[in-house]
Amino acid sequence: MSLLQRCLSGGVPLRLISLRRVRTTSITYGSLVPFKLSDIGEGIAEVQVKEWHVKVGDRVNQFDNICEVQSDKAAVSITSRYDGVIKKLYYNVDDVAKVGQPLIDIELDDDVEVPSSIKQEKQEPANISSVEDSAASIRHKHEKKLATPAVRRIAMESKVNLLDVAGSGKDGRVLKEDVLRFLGQISKAPSNTSYTPHTSSASISKGEFQAGTLKDDEIVPVRGYTRAMVKSMSEALKIPHFGYNDEINVGRLVELRDQLKHISRERDIKMSYMPMFIKAASLALARFPMLNASADEKFENIIYKASHNICIAMDTPGGLVVPNIKNCEQRNLWEVAEELNRLHEAGKRQQISREDLIGGTFTLSNIGAIGGTYASPVIFPPQVAIGAIGKIEKLPRFDAAGQVYPASLVKVSWAADHRVVDGATMARFSNLWKEYLENPMLMLSELR
């Protein structure tokens, strides 16, 4: 006798199952495979999860973006290798994921053949409600900000991450006014708004952490770009540094930049002084290739680099990072400026690629953007030289007739590896770089 017959004949109360509950509970029994974080090269053993593009229950196809991760060398996009449904996320945002360990679980489509190395036994959930609760919990943690397509387009065009924007709409929805307010184009939100967003750590700049503001000790893990700099600067301590400082009168360079401003607006390329410093350095390196060099591992050979891949030290929300502009010897001023602007924008978003971080041959650091005149820069190994440029100042100087005049001056501090570069070579290189900047027409005459 069936269970239904026994219940009806024996007077046992029959509890009807909610068909609505059954329909809305998505339980499938396809092949469940763990998607492991693959080796992304250069001996990287772990990465930090910066953003999820999926949540539990989402359907993905091959090559769809799964998440953004950041190692101590670069930001990397992880894409799906399978077609299927996301069943589990193993990490929250800012967690550290290990290479070779599961990143997500994907339930594959029926027609997908599961590789033998990752086959798992099909398992039935012991409790439907617990599965629902777990999925809802993960879905809540990783759900993206609510916003209409129009608002998302405005944010994309303005290069704004919606996760950093406080939503004043229902359920925290980000409105057009919220994005404009974030950009500073309209006034602050009214004080009676009912939504108080959580401020992500990525949206807080390092400058906001000032002495005396912390009530308790705070432990901050060394991750991302900072970890890479720890390794590089530890290696730099093995290099015998020597320094050389000088002062450059950039009055004519200031005039040149003023003359280029209207072209800058037409081309929509910001032309700061830095592209001019970079291009002058590249021209000088062509005459002094020993400064655009590196040594082999045992320091038995010096490799003079044909390409001038000039690194630019940048202060980003994730710490100091040193990307480089490839082949500066082949680029004109506008091309250098355009590439520099691209790297600055990527640095603000902490999305500088691995390709932008490798292969550097020479480094410049613009400390003047923050303040200061002279510095003691540390060489970025395996390079052999670095320059730190101070701020441009108006200071009194004497002309050839002995008359005082206001001069636009900038200080430069060079450091070089004394095993490769001697003081006289460094001074000659600096003098040529200085000549290009003090007589920019000379520099422009040599541009290709």
Q: Mind telling me the catalytic residues? A: 418, 422
Distance CA 324, CA 340 (A): 9
Residue 183 exposed, middle or buried by CB count within 10 Å (0-12, 13-18, 19+):
middle
The backbone torsions φ and ψ at residue 406, rounded to the nearest 5 degrees and listed phi first, read -80, 120
